[in-house]
Structure 1
Amino acid sequence: MTIYPLKFNPILKERLWGGTKLGDIFDKPIENDITGESWEISTVKGDISVVSNGELSGKSLQDLIDTNAEEVLGKSVVSRFGKEFPILIKFIDAKQDLSIQLHPNDELAKKRHNSFGKTEMWYIMDADEGADLIVGFNKDVTKEEYQKSIENDKLLDLLNYEKVKEGDTFFINTGKIHAIGAGVVLAEIQQTSDVTYRVFDFNRKDKDGNLRELHTEMALDAMDYTKKDDFKVAYDTTTDTVNEMVDCPYFKTNYINLTKNLKQDISSRDSFTIYMCVSGEAIVANEFGEATVKKGETVLVSANSKSIELKSKRATLLEVTI
């Protein structure tokens, strides 16, 4: 099957902590002032991406995978994940602090939820002055110390805060307590999973006046209680080349800063390729066609592509493969 670079209709998510920047900055068609997420590429049940460009417009990504799995995903991806798209791609606007949470690993998620775990990475696209993230603990703690801090409403005293600016990148492995802070807009790449253990939500109430559910007990056996400085990603920003950012078992992400056209031979890749445009505008082309992406847009190139050409005089892209 000849599959040109595919764009999808954004799946917009209303969130208690969301704002308007997905519309203000990226021109997403938001309908309210608490839009927190734009799911760019998804096959999560009930939130399956639909093609928005070209002759395949209106087709769902899952339909394309079901009928052309190896061509879309790659043989190696199908051997690992079957006909499931293994990652979920999002843009997130945090007008308020997100809840403090963590995600279980594959083993625990499979046992409890028949799901994958949730390893993820964040690339900061915009941040208000003074904005920060919570990533991990500020010291080693015991399970008992952690439980006591929850009981006494002192959890915040144990957490590590990181000031952020555009371009900062964080890798969030399973078990690590974390939260996105107010004033941050970011690109998120994660395993296909919606399993989250919320442990503290600043005692906020939803629109109906109810406190949101916490997962205090479930989090205890999923959490890493040690202080680790393994989350900040250092990467090269050399122009017009592919710079490695993250290489983990679930996804690989590269940073590409374009000032001219860049052609890549991907005949041996055996994986789909995703481009998230985090600044500027570019044309993504394979042998079957092309698509234009601007800041805040995403494109999927099928695994049966032999080459990719990125055409731009000014753009920054995150390249994601398996």
Structure 2
Amino acid sequence: MKKQILKVLPFFEARIWGGKRMLETFNYETDVFPVGEVYNVVALPNGADCLIEGKDMTLSTLYKDYPEWFNCDTEQLPIRVNLLDPLADLSVQLHPDDAYALQYDNSRGKPEAWVILDTPEDGKIEFGHHAKTKEEFANLAHNKEWGNLLKYLPAKKDYFIDIPAGTLHAIGRDVLTYNISRNADLTYRLFDYDRIEVKTGKKRELHIDKVVDNVLVPDTSKGFVWYDSYLKDGCEITDYWDEPGLYTLSRIKVQEQGYYEMNRFAFITVVEGKGEISGTRIKKGETILVPEGLGELKITGNIDAFIASYKNEKKEVE
């Protein structure tokens, strides 16, 4: 198959804190309910896996069968993108690093990052903790002294927040976020507000001991960071993160017409507006894959979009 821009169809996950609002916000249609997460880019074979529009294949199959579209140093697609708009606070959780995840759960770790797309005035996130030692953390956690342990931050619209492995976190109610992470699905929950899962009639599983094993102590998290944008070729561009072996993330806004140079493959997710990208029509909530090597993109319309990509980890020359 010749390299071309393709639309990646969203993969929906039901969540205890989900509802219909995500569908209404981005004009999605699905029988999944209550929708909590929309995976705009996910490629886990025999698991969460986006479909490719008009090609009768999943994203993981495309990655395997057409490696030259990506030119990556990883067996599976290395990045994942999703949108969240929870109607209740998410569980307080963390993700382990690669070594721990592989040893105990045969998975990769899942460092991630968010950009806050919208938030109410009282919007907040849980981020980090107040414990000074692992022993203090474990004691507070096992005794459920959440008020003394958990740290909360006011959510800041259009700000970026980095969440390394081992960082305690939770998106708060009504805080709409764009998320990028490694293409993995391993979460350890510390606290879930004693909620009951409707399907099972039971509380969701917690992983307190694994959280204690992995949590970063002392907490040195930086919280929200603002990145200034710059203008180039008709585009307003914000570059958030560019780490080989992890992910690259930028945001691009275009009014009427702009040009954007692509050196690597990329997934472009529109969060506001509509238009065309090199002849492919795209609107709010949709994602396209731009294979490596297509070069400069011509963008027309009124578009606010995120560009997610990956650079191969540099190897030292022996």
TM-score by length of 2: 0.89
In the alignment, structure 1 residue 282 sits paired with structure 2 residue 275:
yes
In the alignment, structure 1 residue 36 sits paired with structure 2 residue 24:
no
Compared CA separation, residues 279 and 205, structure 1 to 2 (3 A): same
Bigger shift: residues 272-281 or 238-247: 238-247
2:316 match: none
Match of 2:181 among 176, 190, 194: 190
Shift of 1:119: 0.8
2:251 match: 255
Shift of 1:160: 2.0
2:154 match: 163
TM-score by length of 1: 0.88
1:143-222 superposed matches below 5 A: 143-207=134-198, 208-222=200-214
Q: Distance in 2 between matches of 1:156 and 1:31?
A: 38
Show CA shifts across 1:66-109 (max 9, x none).
22112x212xx1xx203x11111111121011100000011211
Show CA shifts across 1:247-300 (max 9, x none).
23410111212124222333xx2x311112122223222xxxx32222222111
Contact map agreement 1:238 1:257 (CA 8 A) in 2: no
Runs of 4+ in 1 over 6 A off after TM superposition: none
Contact map agreement 1:233 1:246 (CA 8 A) in 2: no
Show CA shifts across 1:31-64 (max 9, x none).
3652101111211132221112xxx432222222
Q: Distance in 2 between matches of 1:232 and 1:223?
A: 19
Contact map agreement 1:197 1:218 (CA 8 A) in 2: yes
In the alignment, structure 1 residue 319 sits paired with structure 2 residue 300:
no
Contact map agreement 1:101 1:197 (CA 8 A) in 2: yes
Q: Which amino acid aligns with 1:101?
A: Q
Q: Distance in 2 between matches of 1:230 and 1:293?
A: 35
Bigger shift: residues 225-234 or 100-109: 225-234
Aligned length: 304
Bigger shift: residues 110-119 or 92-101: 110-119
2:70 match: 73
Structure 2 runs not aligned, ≥5 long: 311-318
Pairwise CA RMSD of aligned residues?
A: 1.8
Aligned-partner SS, 1:274: strand
Identity %: 27
2:55 match: 57
Structure 1 runs not aligned, ≥5 long: none
In the alignment, structure 1 residue 117 sits paired with structure 2 residue 118:
no
Match of 2:241 among 238, 241, 246: 246
2:315 match: none
Aligned-partner SS, 1:48: coil
Q: Distance in 1 between matches of 2:274 and 2:50?
A: 22
Q: Distance in 2 between matches of 1:30 and 1:127?
A: 25
Q: Distance in 1 between matches of 2:30 and 2:160?
A: 26
